[in-house]
Amino acid sequence: MWTDRIALGAALAALVTPAVATYANAPFQDRPYEVADLALRVLDGEELMPPTGDMSLAAAVAAMLLVSELGVAEAYEGIFEAEDEDESDEAEEGDPYAKAYAQLQVVRPWIAALPQDADLSDLVARLDALMPTPEQPAVMDADPEAAEVVAQALVGQLERVANADLYLGRDLSRAMQTVSQLAAHGCAYDEVARPRWFQIAALYFEDVLEAPLSVMAAYDAEQIEDGFDALLDGDMTACDAVGAAFVDAHERLFP
């Protein structure tokens, strides 16, 4: 995922700068549950085929598998973080390189489902060069964010070939509405369905909203984060608090 600095800079820029390009599709805004649910199922090991004839959905899932908190770029950074931990921590969490390499293999079919060109091929090859073998090579790029740089460029190319906006945070107001609606849907569903809605809402909040709101609406951001923790633990009394915090934060940022 983005570092806090990159994420915050992008989110702040979204407040004052419109999207540079206009895309025909906006899957993260129009069907955020479907995108995240597919990505999570892929990461859970389900052998899902990318949808045929739905390039924007395939591109959105690929983007999430590349640059979300659960994506390749974040997993690659985790390789270097693990080097600073003791061996017992690493043994408990598994091999971080193997995890990052496996996630790179998982995202391949979703990229391959889109029209291919030299730019896409080059960027995928650059990710391959960072993680060339199933076993960690003796020498690696020393920059923990090397995969992040390539993955972000790759998502930019996916936007172009799929004609789809793949950054929910470009429109911060709409992003807040999208995540709050996901939480509200979870509150409205039965106890079997609601945990997935809360999981997805919390993931988008962490990916897109936590950094900017923690600066511009810090109290509300804390209320939302605590509320999601409670909802994920099954405490439905947090529904009203989360909804109210989103309303307050939106009014603060967009009076």
Residues 6+ apart with CB under 8 A from 110: 42, 50, 58, 59, 61, 62, 65
Look at 82-96, 133-147, 209-223, 241-255 and tell me which has the smallest mean pLDDT: 82-96
Residue 17 has what pLDDT? 34
The pLDDT of 79-85, averaged and rounded, is 78
Which helix (H) or strand (E) covers residue 122, if one does?
A: helix 118-130
pLDDT at 93: 64
Q: What is the mean pLDDT of the chain?
A: 89
In the predicted structure, residue 64 carries a pLDDT above the cut 50: yes
Q: What is the pLDDT of residue 3?
A: 34
pTM assigned to the model: 0.88
- For the chain, helix, strand, coil in percent to 5 are 70, 0, 30
- The amino acid that residue 234 corresponds to is G
pLDDT at 18 over 50: no
- Which residues have a Cβ under 8 Å from the Cβ of 189 and sit 6 or more positions away? 197
* Choice between 11 and 167, residue whose per-residue pLDDT is larger: 167
Task: Of 55, 77, 56, give the one whose Cα is nearest residue 2.
Answer: 77
pLDDT at 103 over 80: yes
Q: Is the pLDDT of residue 112 over 90?
A: yes
The letter for the amino acid at 43 is L
The answer, yes or no, to whether residue 11 has pLDDT greater than 90, is no
Q: Given this model, what pLDDT does residue 118 score?
A: 96
Q: What is the per-residue pLDDT for 21?
A: 60
Higher confidence at residue 31 or residue 2? Answer: 31
Query: pLDDT tens across 147-186, in order?
Result: 999 999 999 999 999 999 999 999 999 999 999 999 999 9
Cα–Cα distance measured from residue 63 to residue 165, given in angstroms and rounded to the nearest whole number: 10
Q: Note the pLDDT of residue 85.
A: 60
Q: Classify 25 as helix, strand or coil.
A: strand
The whole-number pLDDT of residue 84 equals: 63
How is residue 145 annotated by DSSP? T
Q: How confident is the model at residue 20 (pLDDT cuts 50, 70, 90)?
A: very low
3-state secondary structure of 181: helix
Residue pair 147/186 in contact (Cβ under 8 Å)? The answer is no
Single-letter code of the amino acid located at 243: G
| Cα 232 to chain centroid, rounded | 18
Burial track 216-251 (b if 16+ CB lie within 10 A, e otherwise): bbeebbebbbebbebbbeeeeebbebbbebbeebbe
User: For residues 137 and 100, is the Cβ–Cβ distance under 8 A?
Assistant: no
Give the residue with greater pLDDT, 37 vs 83. 37
185-235 residue pLDDT tens: 999 988 899 999 999 999 999 999 999 999 999 999 999 999 999 999 999
pLDDT value at residue 82: 79
State residue 86's pLDDT score: 53
